[in-house]
Structure 1
Amino acid sequence: MSHLSPFVTFLLISIVKLLVVFVITLTAVAYTVLLERKVIGRMQNRWGPSRTGPFGLLQPLADGIKLFLKEDMMPLAVDRPLFLVAPMIALTCAMVSIAVVPFGAVTRVQGVDLFQVSDLNIGLLVILGITSIGVYGIALSGWSSNNKFALLGSLRATSQMISYELALGLSLVGVVLRAGSLRLRDIVDSQAAHGALSWNILGGFQIVAFFIYIMSAYAEANRSPFDLPEAESELVAGYHTEYSSMKFAMFFMAEYANMITISCVATLLFFGGASSPFGHLFDGFLNLPILNAIFPVLWFVFKIFSFLFLFIWVRSTLPRFRYDQLMGFGWKFLMPVAMANIIVTSLVMALHP
């Protein structure tokens, strides 16, 4: 690449990075579905998918082909443009936020960081902004379907997501105060000095903020026990009742992509991102540049996997909330506790700068 101009080199590496991250994220979404079906099967003392491929490993491929080949039904009374654009908004917003996530240590080739698509100085703000736009996809899907179950589901989803977004945003203020930056690399670097003891959940005393974040994130992703928008026993299937084929698959993919994004943000803000829990203890053994590049990525993937397992565990264990309990929990409990956490964090930092 030495004969190429710096801009062309930057552009080519960025396009390759974008494609790799996009493919990996879509593959992770497909296999998170398989992981969920397998883990819940084991927890309920059954096998889960076991027929397609060895140990059921080709089940996501079979599901994808099935959804792609299904007849795409379009009810007569729907608002066609909005009905078509709603799943695209939901999936796009779920996928785009991965672009600002640093999923490894800083590794530069031709001046370009290999393990982050875009390093923005307001990366955290961008993720919060993009995920909050995702609610439009759900709201429009229910309204444009001209179906009372879909409308009820989208109304529930919209009010739930807007309510819990406040507590989620406030829970992150303590982390931002400690790091002094909204840039995700800076937040990760502020936790890298002494391994797990420097992580915000332990050394930063942000354990309360973490639990507020994780509970709000469950509600944001419409995951059990906060899956009121798609409560099958009450609303048929919620906001995607009238959707079929790939449009339904887009909503399905958006939910699991949101789970991955939530896990990435939790890892970056509270668990040191791609940094090792042992700090710099084993740095002497990792003198090879390739190992220095690979091990942080492996730590990051392990942390993401742990969060995804937690999502699935909670779904298979806890019953669904009643709707008034859901809204009361967000406004009357999580919001005040999040504000109290900001005040306490600010006081501690003022007294011990």
Structure 2
Amino acid sequence: MTAGWTVLEVVLRAVAVLAAFLVLPLLVGQTEHKVMAHMQGRLGPMYAGGYHGWAQLVADAVKFIQKEDITPARADRGVFRLAPFVALIPYLVAMAVIPLTPTIVGADVPGSALLVLAATGVGIIGTLMGGWASASKYSMLGAMRAAAQLVSYELPMVLAVASVALAAGTLSLVGIAEAWTPWWLLWQAPGAFVFLVAAIAELQRPPFDMPIADSELVFGIFTEYTGLRFAFFLLAEYAGIVLFSLMFAVLWLGGWAGPFEGALGWLWTVLKAYAIAVIVIWLRVSWPRLREDQLQRLAWVWLVPIALLQLAITAVGVVMMQ
């Protein structure tokens, strides 16, 4: 516990982080419904809640709760049931250290950027657990694809964040955002591109959705899941979009930097992250799924070299400015 924190403050911070963790993914999910619909010439949800279907995801949650929780007869029951929680909890842990302003943050810890990367890397364990324990060839193939994909794209993501941390001289997300200048929009642009692509691949979102390719693997690791456990996997995906969008906003867009940032700083961070989330949704609608070889080639032939070049440029720039 941080020095000076009371038990009440710790509880309030935990409740605030949990509330954001539950509300923001619903907002992104509703945005996805409407943005995809309009891009495809549809209206999307219109009736749940009474105004443009604002409560559609709440209705979906109620539906999932009512569905029967089925565990396949040949599945490893304990691992199968635990997997959705292992996939979801790392995002909750990571969300706790994402700052909306220097003072609005669940836990401002040293090395918070590193903590986020470490926590999100644990999510693959839940994916592997779900695929292996399902006793289904489709789930197992999906889990193996997911593992290969996440291992490939973890490296360029770490290198992109390392470049920004090197430029700021700190691993603290608050420190990085406070060191940000508009010049970074040009200087760190290649790293921003690498991070965004790698984040979408880590979330297994189109065009990087090979682990759950419905035309090949039914629904990948989720094939045998029903009810609330399936909903937890979906919540983890939307929570991941929120987390990586907030990370992008803090690292490359200055977070709370903007007019009247003293009073409205948290709003600038949220709006910037929301814009990134819309881009993630737009890519889902606009790009077809890559082949597995194209996925690996993109990571190792393009993203890793770009990230290494960005890191080298940042190192030279930091030395020259000293």
- TM-score calculated relative to the size of structure 1: 0.87
Partner of 2:71: 74
Partner of 2:133: 144
AA partner of residue 124 (structure 2): V
How far 1:31 moved relative to its partner?
A: 2.5
How far 1:87 moved relative to its partner?
A: 0.5
Q: How does 1:1-353 map to 2 (within 5 A)?
A: 10-53=6-49, 54-106=51-103, 115-191=104-180, 197-198=182-183, 200-202=184-186, 205-276=187-258, 292-293=262-263, 295-353=264-322
AA partner of residue 200 (structure 2): Y
Give the Cα–Cα distance (whole angstroms) in 1 for the partners of residues 316 and 24 of structure 2.
Answer: 41
Give the Cα–Cα distance (whole angstroms) in 1 for the partners of residues 91 and 231 of structure 2.
Answer: 13
How far 1:28 moved relative to its partner?
A: 1.5
Give the Cα–Cα distance (whole angstroms) in 1 for the partners of residues 320 and 107 of structure 2.
Answer: 36
Cα pair 1:105 1:297 within 8 Å, conserved: no
Cα pair 2:168 2:179 within 8 Å, conserved: yes
How far 1:351 moved relative to its partner?
A: 2.4
In the alignment of these two chains, the number of paired residues is 319
How far 1:341 moved relative to its partner?
A: 1.3
Give the Cα–Cα distance (whole angstroms) in 1 for the partners of residues 200 and 211 of structure 2.
Answer: 12
Give the Cα–Cα distance (whole angstroms) in 2 for the partners of residues 326 and 217 of structure 1.
Answer: 13
Give the Cα–Cα distance (whole angstroms) in 2 for the partners of residues 350 and 126 of structure 1.
Answer: 26
Give the Cα–Cα distance (whole angstroms) in 1 for the partners of residues 10 and 185 of structure 2.
Answer: 33
How far 1:328 moved relative to its partner?
A: 1.1
Partner of 1:286: none
Cα pair 2:83 2:127 within 8 Å, conserved: yes
How far 1:24 moved relative to its partner?
A: 2.3
Give the Cα–Cα distance (whole angstroms) in 1 for the partners of residues 166 and 58 of structure 2.
Answer: 44
Cα pair 1:125 1:182 within 8 Å, conserved: yes
Partner of 1:109: none
CA RMSD of superposed structures (Å): 1.4
- Secondary structure at the counterpart of residue 100 of structure 1: coil
Cα pair 2:246 2:270 within 8 Å, conserved: no
AA partner of residue 238 (structure 2): Y
- Secondary structure at the counterpart of residue 172 of structure 1: helix
Give the Cα–Cα distance (whole angstroms) in 1 for the partners of residues 321 and 112 of structure 2.
Answer: 27
How far 1:231 moved relative to its partner?
A: 0.9
Cα pair 2:113 2:171 within 8 Å, conserved: yes
Extract structure 1 runs of 4+ deviating beyond 6 A. Answer: none
How far 1:333 moved relative to its partner?
A: 1.2
How far 1:17 moved relative to its partner?
A: 1.8
How far 1:206 moved relative to its partner?
A: 0.5
Q: Which range moved further: 336-345 or 238-247?
A: 336-345
Give the Cα–Cα distance (whole angstroms) in 2 for the partners of residues 87 and 248 of structure 1.
Answer: 7
Q: Which range moved further: 84-93 or 334-343?
A: 334-343
**Can you give the 5+ residue segments of structure 1 that lack an aligned partner in the other structure?**
1-5, 107-114, 284-291
Q: Deviations over 1:242-266 (max 9, x none)?
A: 0000110010000110111100111
- Secondary structure at the counterpart of residue 50 of structure 1: coil
Q: Deviations over 1:185-208 (max 9, x none)?
A: 11011016xxxx25x223xx0001
Cα pair 2:102 2:174 within 8 Å, conserved: no
Give the Cα–Cα distance (whole angstroms) in 1 for the partners of residues 93 and 177 of structure 2.
Answer: 20
**Can you give the 5+ residue segments of structure 2 that lack an aligned partner in the other structure?**
none
Give the Cα–Cα distance (whole angstroms) in 2 for the partners of residues 262 and 209 of structure 1.
Answer: 14
